[in-house]
Structures are given as C-alpha cells and as structure tokens.
Amino acid sequence: MLRHVDTLRSAVYGTAVGDALGLPVQFLPRDSYPEVTEMTGSKELPCPAGTWSDDTSLTLATVDSLLTCEGVDIPDMRARFEDWLENGTYTPDGQAFDQGFTTVHALTQGHGCTNEQSNGNGSLMRILPLAFVKNLSDEQIAQVSGITHAHPLSVEACQVYVHAGQLLLDGFSLSEAIETACLASETFAGLADIGQYSRSEIRSTGYVKDSLEAAVWCLLTTNNFRDALVKAVNLGEDTDTIGAITGGLAGIAYGMDSIPESWMNALRKKDIIEHCLTSR
C-alpha cells in the first residue's frame, strides 16, 4: 500500500517538469546557452516544448506498477520497463527515446548491471515513487534499482534519495531530510554540507554521485520550486535528469501549487501522467 498519495502527484509532476525543462539543453556545456527559465523546444531533438523523456517515462512505469500491485513487485515493474523500451508505453509520442545505455543493456540481458562503469543516474531518476510505499525496506530499494543499476554505489544513491523523500513526507524540512538521510552513508555523508559549495565545485554529469550532489545543491541553495529547477537545468550537461531528480524532491517539499503555471501549461501529454496516477 502507498501513503500520501495526494503528494505523489506533486512528486511525479515535479519530476516531469524538471525533465521537460532541462531536455532541450541536455549535454550542452555549462553557460554555453541562454538561461533557461521557461519551457522551450530543442534544436538537437525533434521535440516540442514541454516534452519529457525517459526520466519521466520510467517514473510513470514505476508509479503504475506500485499502484496496480499495491506495493513493490519486481517482475511486474521490470515488465513495464521492457514495455516502455520495446513499445513506447509511458512516452509522450509512443516511442522511447534518449534511453540510457546501462538501462537498455540491463533490460535486454534480463538483469541489472554491476560493473563500475554502469553507475549512471538511470535508476536514481525513476526511484522516488518508492518513498510513498508503506513499510519500505532498503532491500526493496536495492531490488528496484537493481532492475537496471545493481552496483552498490547506484543502490546507495537511490536509498539516500528515497530516504530523503520519506523524511519530507514525515514533515522534515529539506535540510533536515537530507542531513538525516545521509547519516548512515559514508559515500554520501558530505551531502549535508554541499549547500556551502560554490557553483563551480558542482559537477552536473550523468554519473550517479555527481547527479545526486547537483540536485541536492540546487535544493539546499534555494527556497522554492522554481528557483531550484532553474538552477538545476542551467548547470549544463545532464540537465534533464538533474532537473527531474531535483524536481521530484522539490515537488514533495513545496507541493503542486508551487509549480509555475506556465510550466504546467506547457507540459505535454498530461493525460498519460494522470492515467498512471489515477486509473485502477
């Protein structure tokens, strides 16, 4: 069973908005493009403004599985990921695109990747809905990450991120949630202080540790949804995923009403998102 289902909507829309806001400037170097403050189309991808990518699609697949199965069901979730990859389910235009190499390789081979080189952010970007599962265990987080990303570093990043989401749902502030979530983690112990870093010290690559640190930095150095997301998508490099990771926690922390109306209006195919959130 899931808890705080109303807040699940703001987490999912926060993820989708961050994804769509950052997608048009994905992989561009920092400060090589005009500051992104509104939804725009992409010159590199044939995508209208407000298009979301694999970050949101796999988050929706996760939500659909959790609500349908009333909890974590790994075979069901894996099947939904495969459906996305093969048939374009959970996508705005009926075709998967921008797929991560590790995710594709893992779904093709039938098990998660465990090598050091597989520590991209492909499980972190979709894992936040687990924060809404009652009596969730760390082993379940590991299993869900491990559908594609089974290396201990990726698993630990997902656990810290989900714990932060759980603590926000329990009423902790963003800073308290992040500090508490990383208490038991040697790898991510520095997250609690990352708000003191300068922008130049933040790496915004697709490496899972960099991505989580960048998202947390954006959250700890702002005090509202819009500013956190603008900061995230203007870091350059893996802008859509860092936007999605930032947006998910910001959605929980600040709620649906905090998402700028112009961003919500521009977000495409909200009917698909609503279907995953409501139809049972």
Alpha-carbon span 172 to 249, nearest angstrom: 12
Q: How far is CA 152 from the centre of its chain?
A: 18
Judge whether 276 and 30 are in contact, CB under 8 Å. no
Q: Which residue has the tokens 């389910």?
A: 89
The CATH number given to whatever domain includes residue 185 is 1.10.4080.10
Spell 196-205 as b/e; 16+ CB within 10 A means b: eeeeeebbbb
98 neighbors 56 (Cβ within 8 angstroms)? no
Looking at residue 119, its pLDDT comes to: 97
Q: Supply the range of the domain harboring residue 160.
A: 5-278
Sole residue written with tokens 């493009």? 33
pLDDT tens sequence across 65-106: 999 999 999 999 999 999 999 999 999 999 998 899 999 999
**The pLDDT value given to residue 46:** 78
How confident is the model at residue 280, as a pLDDT? 55
The pLDDT assigned to 97 comes to 85
Looking at residue 279, its pLDDT comes to 54
Q: For the chain, what is the domain count?
A: 1
What the block records as the tokens of 235 is 């870091």
Q: What is the pLDDT of residue 245?
A: 98
* pTM, two decimal places: 0.97
CA 198 to CA 87: how far, in whole Å?
43
pLDDT of residue 211: 98
- Positions in the chain short of pLDDT 50: none
Per-residue pLDDT at 178: 97
- Quote the pLDDT of residue 21: 98
Q: Which of 13, 17, 57 is closest to 229 using CA atoms?
A: 17
User: Number of helices (H) and strands (E), helices first, in the chain?
Assistant: 12, 0
Nearest Cα neighbor of 280 from 1, 66, 68 is: 68
State how far the Cα of 78 lies from the Cα of 61, in Å rounded to an integer.
9
